[in-house]
Chain A
Amino acid sequence: GAVVSQHPSRVICKSGTSVKIECRSLDFQATTMFWYRQFPKQSLMLMATSNEGSKATYEQGVEKDKFLINHASLTLSTLTVTSAHPEDSSFYICSASPAISTDTQYFGPGTRLTVL
């Protein structure tokens, strides 16, 4: 149980285009979802926290207009990287917290974004 999926697993796009990454909780309802990015040989950095039906809370230094987060249902959150640039190339990981255990996060497998 407690499986979180991400799609796509890898994406390559041209500079200036937008990319959408989906995060799904497959067997539980997630009241809260988190989005992280991870650069090579570094740990996960929290980008934003989203609760179903409300606006996401972004960490300091993360541009909310560039990284659009939608958490429209209890099983789906999306991260859209708008007007992507090469410096946005990174490993993006989502996690989800079930309603019955809000202090636990289950992580997705990650999405490797490469911007050319």
Chain B
Amino acid sequence: KNQVEQSPQSLIILEGKNCTLQCNYTVSPFSNLRWYKQDTGRGPVSLTIMTFSENTKSNGRYTATLDADTKQSSLHITASQLSDSASYICVVSEMTYKYIFGTGTRLKVLA
């Protein structure tokens, strides 16, 4: 069964600190993996997209990694800001382009 699991479920950090979110997937055949940021009451906004051959992708303070062998990905946030408080969703695409959503990690950044 195609599944995407994320950990931790929720996370609280202080402003300025770094954090890493994890994503494990069993989706096959694999097409690509995306990380989205979703603010409360808003639609998801794309942060990064990685294909099978890519190991790292950065977008400002966000850096995603992908290990296609172990089927794991991580999203690292550097020097967190209050505006980083949101849900972060890992989404894996099958070759049919169907999106398989993770359950998300809710991040709270405190001043």
Interface residue ranges, A against B (CB under 8 Å): 4, 6, 34, 41-46, 91, 93, 95, 97, 102-103, 105-110, 112
Contact = CB atoms under 8 A, between A and B. Distances in A.
Interface residues of B, number: 19
Interface string B27-56: 000011000100001111110000000000
Given A43-B102, A43-B103, A108 B43 contact: yes
B101 interface: yes
Interface of A is mostly: strand
Nearest to B43: A107
Given A6-B43, A43-B103, A105-B99, 11 more contacts: A43-B89, A43-B101, A43-B102, A46-B98, A102-B97, A103-B31, A103-B93, A107-B36, A107-B43, A109-B42, A110-B43
